[in-house]
Homo-oligomer: A and B are copies of this chain.
Amino acid sequence: MTGYELKKALDQSTQLFWHAELSQIYPALKQLQAQGLVAGQLLPQAGKPDKIRYVITAAGREAFQRWLLEPLDEVPAVKNPVLLKLFFAGSLEKEQLLHQLRCQLALQRARLQRLEVETAASVQELSQADLAQAGMMWERLRHFGVLQVQTTIEWLEDTIRAVEEKS
């Protein structure tokens, strides 16, 4: 893929748990090329900027496989500024706290909609054969995203109820 195509692919597939800006992708591709893990081919275009299409090399495939096999022996640390703010928001006025909670709830509900409709469609685009193999994890991860957002929505609803019922 080209850097530009990669960005789009990332936004469609992994946006729930990974993302990157073009300004990070382009230098990263050059670095991978310098390490011999990918090969770049210049594709001149008329009327548009030239493309550079990168293809993984044998060495790249090996490095990727090694990475895949590294044991998952750690739980990644989370940084969530929204939860951090809510942690301290207990000291706000009741109405202000409720406003913050409702604001986030609306966003999460909209997100669930998008996840269930749009992303399900993009998973459907995969062939049955793909779904049986690599694509299966794609669908499983999309489902995980839905579960997480549902949990978040229910938790926000409960929390709003609890705050409302306070003195």
A positions within 8 Å CB-CB of B: 13-19, 64, 67-92, 96, 100, 103-104, 107-108, 111, 132-138, 140-141, 143-144, 147-148, 151-152, 155, 159, 162-163, 166-167
Given known pairs A90-B138, A136-B90, A166-B132, the reply for A100 and B72 (CB within 8 Å) is yes
Q: Is the CB of A137 within 8 A of B18?
A: no
Distance, CA A163 to CA B50, complexed state (A): 43
A139 to chain B, nearest CB (A): 10
Chain B residue with the shortest CB-CB distance to A150: B151
Q: Is the CB of A76 within 8 A of B80?
A: yes
Distance, CA A96 to CA B30, complexed state (A): 31
Distance, CA A138 to CA B162, complexed state (A): 13
Q: Is the CB of A72 within 8 A of B87?
A: no
Given known pairs A67-B85, A76-B82, A103-B73, the reply for A162 and B141 (CB within 8 Å) is no
